[in-house]
Amino acid sequence: MTIIYNSAHIRHETGNHVENPRRIEVIREFFASRGIWQSLRVIPGRVAERSEIEAIHSRDYLSGLAEFCRRGGGYLNLDTVVGPASLQVALEAVGSVLRAIDETVVTGGPVFALVRPPGHHAEHDQAMGFCLLNNIAIGARYAQKVHGIEKILIVDWDVHHGNGTQEAFYQDPSVLFFSIHQSPLYPGSGLIEEIGEKRGVGHTVNCPVPVGSGDETLRLLVEELLFPLADRFRPELILVSCGLDAHWADPIAGLAVTELGFGFIASAVKKLASDYCNGRLVGSLEGGYHLGCLPNTFLSVVREWWAELSGEEVELTIKKPLLDRGVSIVTERIGQTRKLLAPYWRL
């Protein structure tokens, strides 16, 4: 399996911030200590072109961001901080996702872009929630333009709603955006009633879940909504906004997902990619902030994507199953979502 990784992400310096270079480096060090890193195919990304970025972001936003970094950086808003090299690193993060898309098209197997800064909150003309450029959204447009892929499924299982990605494709029926996220939580969007508009209506599917939701809630949403939707939509490529912050120990969110839940949803998208997309599947790192739990959680995902890792043990950070507080509320919401989507999909 191919991982796109470039140590240059370290130059996106954020100071004393949860989104910092250690997040990726603890994963790399853990994988190296177990001999896994050496057996993966690890290749660098590239620097995304301005024209590729402008498929999603405004020229004004980009030039403003470039100027802000050139002057040394600082806080762009309450939570997003940049340094002098941050725009360059963000262009490399996007370029890594683009490279991952090239790879999966050629190999027909999963590819993971281990990148930061994350991307799914970044909107057309603003940075948000630690995100500068919307890696996944730019990737989807690139796949359509360069590889002629028409229909793309984006699965966003970061604990926060991917508002930027939703915005990018809200009126676009060629991209089905499926998001599972804690609600209420930052950024506050992602209600089930947000289902897209104009030609894109029915192609945004939001699954807000209450605090304390865990593995069983994920399973319900995947089996009751994601599987039937994918079967009707028939994507040609699946992109995953792979946040690891739904983990029960994550310091900035409140879900109760374990390594088993991450493994389950990772295997689910792999199955969808094999069934509909000739195996074409790209994951891109979004959030995930518990440095101690990140390596095993990431392993629980890539172990499902690369058969040769199936013998690798994932350490369960909690031994007995957690009480899943989301099941009854989410069961009800699945019914509501089916009703909202009924004019557009026979689920």
288 Ramachandran zone, left/alpha/beta (phi>0; psi -120 to 50): left
Please give the C-alpha separations between residue 119 and each of 32, 181, 228, in angstroms, as whole numbers: 26, 15, 27
CB of 189 to Zn ion, least distance (A): 13
Q: How far is it, in rounded angstroms, from Cα 271 to Cα 254?
A: 28
Q: How far is it, in rounded angstroms, from Cα 181 to Cα 140?
A: 21
> Is the peptide bond prior to 184 cis by the omega test (within 30 degrees of 0)?
yes
Nearest to Zn ion of 104, 182 (CB atom): 182
Sheet with strand 175-182: strands edge to edge: 41-43, 2-4, 110-113, 281-285, 237-242, 152-156, 175-182, 204-209
Name residues whose C-beta falls within 8 Å of residue 342's C-beta, 6 or more positions apart in sequence.
Answer: none
Q: Let me know if 121 is a catalytic residue.
A: yes
Closest-CB residue for Zn ion? 287
Tell which residue, 32, 67, 286, 304, has the closest CA to residue 159. 286
Nearest to Zn ion of 162, 196 (CB atom): 162
Nearest to Zn ion of 265, 341 (CB atom): 265
CB of 158 to Zn ion, least distance (A): 4
CB of 148 to Zn ion, least distance (A): 32
Name residues whose C-beta falls within 8 Å of residue 177's C-beta, 6 or more positions apart in sequence.
Answer: 154, 156, 162, 165, 166, 169, 196, 203, 204, 205
- Catalytic entry in 12, 57, 120, 121: 121
* Inter-residue contact 203 to 230 (CB < 8 Å): no
CB of 129 to Zn ion, least distance (A): 7
Both structure tokens of 231: 């079967």
CB of 286 to Zn ion, least distance (A): 6
Strand stretches in 204-252, DSSP E: 204-209, 237-242
Nearest to Zn ion of 139, 243 (CB atom): 243
Nearest to Zn ion of 239, 277 (CB atom): 239
Nearest to Zn ion of 80, 104 (CB atom): 80
* Inter-residue contact 305 to 281 (CB < 8 Å): yes
> Is the peptide bond prior to 251 cis by the omega test (within 30 degrees of 0)?
no
* Inter-residue contact 107 to 114 (CB < 8 Å): no
CB of 23 to Zn ion, least distance (A): 12
The residues binding Zn ion (CB under 5 A) are 158, 160, 243, 245, 287
Kindly list the catalytic residues.
Answer: 121
